[in-house]
Amino acid sequence: MPTALLFAGQGSQYVGMMRDLADEHSTARELVAHADALLGYSLSSIVFEGPEERLKETRYTQPALFLHEAVVMGLVREYIKCDAVAGHSLGEYSALYAAGVIDFDTALRLVQLRGTLMFEAGEKLPGTMFAVIGLDDDKVQAICNRLNDGENVVVAANFNAPGQVVVSGSAQYLRDHATTFKEEGARMVVELPVSGAFHSPLLESARERLAEAINAADFRDASVDVYCNVDALPVRSAELLRARLIQQLVSPVLWTQTMRSMQQAGISEFCEIGPGSVLQGLLKRTLQGTSFRGIDKAADVQSVLHS
């Protein structure tokens, strides 16, 4: 049956992730050591030992998540049939790596730069994000349009699942107006522990600098369909994937639409690669009649290798 691999973004990380994979597989240890050398610091120490607050810093979270997902892919690639890939926000870099569009070194360098630029952008133009639970997508979008007054930014940033949208914008202004979503019928409105207004115009300066690096990087046509965040459509062209990746940083993540597009294309099996089970939870709330699993820990890898 047609299968898609899914890769999560920020929020899925946890201290100690990937450690059992490195303990049990020499190829995983070698890739982790290579990443530490490439980055110029011991990312593995932060991932394996914490503290959690440091791992949560965008500049460390992003390379950590990509590395975990790349390690898992390296261990199971030959054992899993894959017809399509998609990644949520940062996870799109892992999806491109899995589809052969960019190599490991290129992906890690881009992810390191992305995390650093997003961290710096959050310091220059303070932003935040709120999860809005229990409102239709159209209603959340309408409220954002009303609040977004030109000077203060409020946009829908992540369409994660039906009734679950993340909004992004100017920090104090969004905090002051977050109750508007509750007044309009949202069941919950919760601020997220992030360092900026991701997937919003407040990251335009980061997008411009990241675009220079993406344009200079070697991109190849994808070996399978890559469903992109910005339009939820399958792409294989290297140049189109490059353009979508540049646009992604300031555009909403159309995850609900991506899952539906995949199902409409006949995909009925999904496998989340990397830490946690966030995407499996979103999938369960979005689609019916599909099967899904996750590969995170060494035990999960072993079950694939011996299936």
Tell me which residues are annotated as active site: 89, 199
Q: By C-alpha distance, which of 44, 298, 281 is closest to 164?
A: 281
Residue type, 125: L
Please, what sign has the CA dihedral across residues 156, 252, 187, 58? Answer: negative
Residue in the block written with tokens 């120490």: 45
Q: By C-alpha distance, which of 179, 284, 143, 156 is closest to 229?
A: 156
**Is 296 in a helix, a strand, or coil?**
coil
The token pair at 99 is: 């589809």
Longest dimension (CA), the chain: 57
Do 199 and 251 touch, CB atoms closer than 8 A? yes
The token pair at 193 is: 């522990």
**Is 64 in a helix, a strand, or coil?**
helix
Q: Are strands 154-161 and 188-191 parallel, antiparallel or unpaired?
A: unpaired
Q: By C-alpha distance, which of 283, 279, 231 is closest to 252?
A: 231
Dist CA 90 CA 63 (whole Å): 9
Q: By C-alpha distance, which of 84, 46, 53, 99 is closest to 68?
A: 46
Dist CA 134 CA 253 (whole Å): 18
- Torsion angles phi and psi, residue 105, rounded to 5: -60, -45
